[in-house]
Structure 1
Amino acid sequence: MKAILRKRSALLLSLLSGLLLWAAWPTSSLTFLIFFGFVPLLAMSDKMTERPGAYFGLLFLAFWIWNTATTWWVGNTTVPASGIFANAFNALLMTIPWMAYRTTRLRAGRATGYFALAVYWMTFEYIHQHWELSWPWLTLGNAFAMRPEWVQWYEYFGTEGGSWWVLIVNILIYRAILQYRETPHFRAALAPALAILLPTIGSFLASGYTQNAGREKIVVVQPNIDPYDEKFARGAAELQLRKLLDLSAQKTDTSTRFIIWPETALFPTGSWEHELNAQPEVLAIREFLRQYPKARLISGAATYKQYTVMDDIPATARHASEGNYWYDAFNASVQIDTSDNVQVYHKSRLVPGVELTPYMRYLPFMKKLALDMGGISGSYGLTPGVSFFTNNTCNIYTAICYESVYGSFVAEKVREGAQLLVVCTNDGWWGNTEGHRQHLQYARLRAIETRRWVARSANTGISALISPLGHIEASLPYWEPGVLSGEVQCDSYQTFYVKYCSYIAIAPVIFCILLLAYTIVLRVIRRKHVENIR
């Protein structure tokens, strides 16, 4: 009977953890629940010191609930089964640090186990931002995206610091519960209460950022073109260009510095980069810009780059069916002005399965298996373009869609010299779900980490202007065409996080290696000790 009760109790704990993590996630207002999301799993880990297979299954259930309830919309594609696989696979990956925690906890004790859990999870998050199956959407620090007033200290420790905060508070709350059971006294709650309150109060009281006076006028366009039925239709590019220009004209004047269009707004079926200056779209844009001599236009675009036989052909390159040459297709952005100089940036953080077939250099026959989401199908190229757009007044980094979820990657662009952040995205693929709303909220964290203005142009919404404090200063409703105008600041100030994010991110990996080595050595010593006794 006790065994049955333990099984049911463990199952309930697994279910509770998955539901708490989901309920805490943006765009829910119950953010504080993130501090309790892992507490049931810690309790379950103590209950299930035996039967590792059952423990793994209950871990997977908790993480599958969290993934599916939070990001079910990733299956809103032409192949819905891809979403089921993505959620299940990500849940499977999340069990790895917890299985490692169980091993360390049993062999090295409770205190070492807690430290190991935090280190293992942070190592998992680091890897999940750097390999080709990357999916950092559920990085724990993202939970505070709707609470910028809680995390102004992200300018020092970034989203990684937020993940540490979540893990430490969960562990302290669980320890307080255990202490209260042994000695019922409210002093047990002191440590977790301070761990929650001190960073939050510090965030309210102080910020290392003060805005300067200089501002530039910016115009952000939201054309609201359906990506499934309209955007990539044959012959639609000219009509879409006219719509974008007409919307831009509504708010553009002679003081406008930058006009921002969304992802793949130009050349939806692709254009050769060496021929951009001759494209009708570019010529029409330059004619438009001559009315506004200070303005530059930044837009998402689909481009092709041809390689000669003398070039090193990358693994992503395709062979032309007609002609003896190789080429890459890119999800790109371009900066156009009235000169003949078109700067091109290539998206480098590609969505696995949609824009990139992971590790296809080892499996070249899988090159064409990326999902067809309209426009150019197959895996995109990874050959770098410019790092960011340069001009006389402001260096601009354009994060294309999914790239804006990578805190340390965006910080690296700012460290290299970017003074203003732009997000060009589509967001229409996922329909009216939490996908586009979560994506908007994550951009607020990038603003705080880098103390940069963020101008977000989304094809179907939500387009917005976000201040360096993470406040949404202006926005457009989802699924409505419109245009925003406002003033932004181009700043050269670099936060502590911008300067040192690479060290902050890699530290848990170093600790992880040391912990694993310690666990292995401890196991060998104990085995020798047992053999000597025998």
Structure 2
Amino acid sequence: MTILADRVTRWTGWRRALAAFAAGAAGALAMPPFGFLPALMVSLVPAIWLLDGATRDTRMRTLKAAAVTGWFWGFGYFVAGLWWLGAAFLVEADQFAWALPFGVLGLPALLAFFTAFGFALARLLWTGDATRILAFAAAVTLSEWLRGHLFTGFPWNSPGMALGQNLWLMQSASVVGLYGLTLLGLAIGAAPAVLLTGATRRQRWTAPLMALGVLALMADFGIWRLPDGPVATVENVSLRIMQPNLPQDAKFNPRNRDAIMRRYLAISRYAGEAGKTLDSATHLIWPESAFPFLLHRDPGALAQIAGILRPGSLLITGAARMDEPLPGESVGKFYNAIQTIDHRGTILSAYDKIHLVPFGEYLPHALDALIRAVGLRPFISIPGGFAASEQRTTLAIPGLPPVAATICYEAIFPDAFLPDGPRPDLILNVTNDAWFGSTPGPYQHFAQARLRAVEEGLPLVRAANTGISAVVDPFGRIIGSLPLGTEGVLDADLPRSISQTVYGKSRRFVLTAMLVICLMAPAARRRRRGSPQSPSPTAA
């Protein structure tokens, strides 16, 4: 077996690039909906061997070789994990098929520069022993943190999600968060690389056994943390989530406005489980961008909504909203919003989305003008795209505890979705994943939103157009859900929040401490040994 490690280490040129691409692609199998945890090892072990073989005659050429290896690894990982983005360009293929290569290949190519940086930084700290695993895990975790924050951020499918799907393992997120899980996942998945590169039995087995030990401790912690029974529920709150399962090409067609409204109203009245009806619900919840019109400017639609709500009950719905135009302007700013409506058809409160999707919800003015100049239409049908709200505040909804509202992919950002001020007691996520059909995308989106509940110790209530709609307790347990691609209603009580988690109190302190430890260990080995040589399969 050492021959395999030796061969991978010595590959150059197209063989090295192809091996890195294939190893990265294998890692996507560890993400939802597959959740095949061993795929993380299949992906990361060759990455370590390829970095072992990145030695060149100068430091700069060595770092360049490591960065190129990291780029191909990341390109494979993101193409295999995000290929489903292409489905959005086929919803109106006559208009947007031209952009499909940019989404399926262009975005992964850009994201791969983050892994290129991580691999180069790891190689800068490389040692001739198992501590290189820590250098790799810390460096790539840092690159993942940068990916989640720079250029508006896109922390989708961070490697920590490989651990963040299992109910026991995900409990560690309450202490270390997503990026802490990423650090642990990378170290655990890469540790078996030394089995075939250690010179002695101790060198070969110490790191893999430690990785197994950490994995066992995480599982034990999860078992210990999970309560035996359900958490308490909020009194006098009965939720009903409506999932219409509307195809995307119909959802935003203004000609369908009346049919869409009738569908929403009819599904909301469906008989639920245990004999529950709409009249049993205190809060009816509809998904993101529910209407192909401005609800707050349509008295008829508001009256129809009022007609199905009993006194004291509320509708919480996604809906586009427009401000009044400023002097000299013909139209106001448009916002992707959540609105709360009572039984009189009055809008009581609203939340405007802050973290907009680039290209999906807004375009830089120059790019928008360029696309229109060549006769093409951007995704955003609203003139100028949506505007972003400037401040994240708690959404006040009568009858509910303070709400941290999120629209669509705002729920994938650790920390950034929380409102300013006191801690909320509920995460509300409304979304529309119909763009992506029955692909891995909606499953990945739900898994990331679910992990926010564990990180913060808050329940999650999620309404999605095509699914997955769900109610999740603060331990990540799914109380009830509606499958992807179905229409219906979900009736559920609202779980109470629990005490603020360690992660919620410390935020980045624990992750920073973990990164410092992981970076100091290989750095200390380098100082003691001098400039290290790349390990070989028989001498590490």
Asked if Structure 1 and Structure 2 have the same fold, meaning a TM-score greater than 0.5 normalized by the shorter chain, the answer is: yes
Q: 1:433 aligns with which of 415, 439, 445?
A: 439
The aligned residue for residue 320 of structure 1 is: none
State the 1:405 CA deviation.
1.2
State the 1:4 CA deviation.
11
1:129 aligns with 2:111: no
The aligned residue for residue 162 of structure 2 is: 143
Q: 1:332 aligns with which of 337, 341, 349?
A: 337
State the 1:198 CA deviation.
1.3
After superposition, give the CA deviation of every residue in 1:12-69 in whole Å (9 maximum; x if it has no partner). 6424522431222211141233245322111111112115455443332222121111
Change (3 A) 1:480 1:5: closer
Aligned CA RMSD, in angstroms, stands at: 3.5
The aligned residue for residue 481 of structure 2 is: 475
> Aligned runs of 1:62-211 on 2, under 5 Å?
62-76=73-87, 77=89, 78=96, 79-83=99-103, 84-105=105-126, 114-179=133-198, 189-207=208-226, 211=231
CA distance in 1, matches of 2:133, 2:319: 47
The aligned residue for residue 398 of structure 1 is: 405
Tell whether the 8 Å contact from 1:144 to 1:150 is kept in structure 2 after alignment. yes
CA distance in 2, matches of 1:452, 1:352: 28
The aligned residue for residue 427 of structure 2 is: 421
My pick for the range that moved more, 177-186 or 394-403, is: 177-186
After superposition, give the CA deviation of every residue in 1:191-229 in whole Å (9 maximum; x if it has no partner). 22212211122212234897225442100111121112x
* Paired residue type of 1:231: K
Change (3 A) 1:5 1:484: closer
1:7 aligns with 2:19: no
Tell whether the 8 Å contact from 1:220 to 1:260 is kept in structure 2 after alignment. yes
Equivalent residues, number: 489
The aligned residue for residue 314 of structure 1 is: none
* Paired residue type of 2:318: G
The aligned residue for residue 262 of structure 1 is: 287
The aligned residue for residue 61 of structure 1 is: 72
* Paired residue type of 1:238: D
State the 1:131 CA deviation.
2.8
CA distance in 2, matches of 1:125, 1:443: 18
Tell whether the 8 Å contact from 2:360 to 2:380 is kept in structure 1 after alignment. no
CA distance in 1, matches of 2:203, 2:509: 41
> Aligned runs of 1:454-473 on 2, under 5 Å?
454-473=460-479
The aligned residue for residue 366 of structure 2 is: 365
CA distance in 1, matches of 2:383, 2:515: 36
Q: 1:47 aligns with which of 39, 53, 61?
A: 53
State the 1:277 CA deviation.
6.8
Q: What is the DSSP-based 3-state SS (H/G/I as helix, E as strand, rest coil) of the residue aligned with 2:336? A: strand
Q: 2:301 aligns with which of 258, 281, 291?
A: 281
* Paired residue type of 1:331: N
* Paired residue type of 1:453: P
> Aligned runs of 1:515-530 on 2, under 5 Å?
none
CA distance in 2, matches of 1:4, 1:124: 24
Change (3 A) 1:500 1:413: farther
Tell whether the 8 Å contact from 1:180 to 1:186 is kept in structure 2 after alignment. no
State the 1:368 CA deviation.
5.4
Tell whether the 8 Å contact from 1:35 to 1:170 is kept in structure 2 after alignment. yes
Tell whether the 8 Å contact from 1:346 to 1:385 is kept in structure 2 after alignment. no
1:350 aligns with 2:356: yes
State the 1:502 CA deviation.
4.4
State the 1:244 CA deviation.
1.0
Q: What is the DSSP-based 3-state SS (H/G/I as helix, E as strand, rest coil) of the residue aligned with 2:151? A: coil
CA distance in 2, matches of 1:40, 1:356: 39
- TM superposition score normalised by structure 2: 0.80
1:224 aligns with 2:245: yes
CA distance in 2, matches of 1:239, 1:211: 40
After superposition, give the CA deviation of every residue in 1:442-496 in whole Å (9 maximum; x if it has no partner). 2221222223222221112222222322223322233232111111224363222
* Paired residue type of 2:366: F
After superposition, give the CA deviation of every residue in 1:392-449 in whole Å (9 maximum; x if it has no partner). 4322233211112112223x34973322222211111012211112212222212222
* Paired residue type of 1:301: A
The aligned residue for residue 318 of structure 2 is: 300
1:449 aligns with 2:455: yes
CA distance in 2, matches of 1:188, 1:491: 38
CA distance in 1, matches of 2:49, 2:392: 50
The aligned residue for residue 246 of structure 1 is: 266
Tell whether the 8 Å contact from 1:277 to 1:342 is kept in structure 2 after alignment. no
Change (3 A) 1:326 1:463: same
Tell whether the 8 Å contact from 1:344 to 1:386 is kept in structure 2 after alignment. no
Tell whether the 8 Å contact from 2:111 to 2:147 is kept in structure 1 after alignment. no
- TM superposition score normalised by structure 1: 0.81
After superposition, give the CA deviation of every residue in 1:229-271 in whole Å (9 maximum; x if it has no partner). x1121332232122112211225444422111011003x2446
Sequence identity (%):
24
CA distance in 2, matches of 1:442, 1:264: 21
CA distance in 1, matches of 2:154, 2:423: 26
Q: What is the DSSP-based 3-state SS (H/G/I as helix, E as strand, rest coil) of the residue aligned with 2:350? A: strand
CA distance in 1, matches of 2:316, 2:350: 10
My pick for the range that moved more, 92-101 or 496-505, is: 496-505
Tell whether the 8 Å contact from 2:428 to 2:460 is kept in structure 1 after alignment. yes
Tell whether the 8 Å contact from 2:469 to 2:481 is kept in structure 1 after alignment. yes
After superposition, give the CA deviation of every residue in 1:471-525 in whole Å (9 maximum; x if it has no partner). 233222332321111112243632222222244466689899x98xx99xx9xx9
Give unpaired runs (5+ residues) of structure 1: 310-322, 527-534
* Paired residue type of 1:97: G
Change (3 A) 1:277 1:136: same
* Paired residue type of 1:161: G
Q: What is the DSSP-based 3-state SS (H/G/I as helix, E as strand, rest coil) of the residue aligned with 1:37? A: helix
Tell whether the 8 Å contact from 2:10 to 2:53 is kept in structure 1 after alignment. yes
State the 1:377 CA deviation.
5.8
Tell whether the 8 Å contact from 2:361 to 2:385 is kept in structure 1 after alignment. yes
Q: What is the DSSP-based 3-state SS (H/G/I as helix, E as strand, rest coil) of the residue aligned with 1:85? A: helix
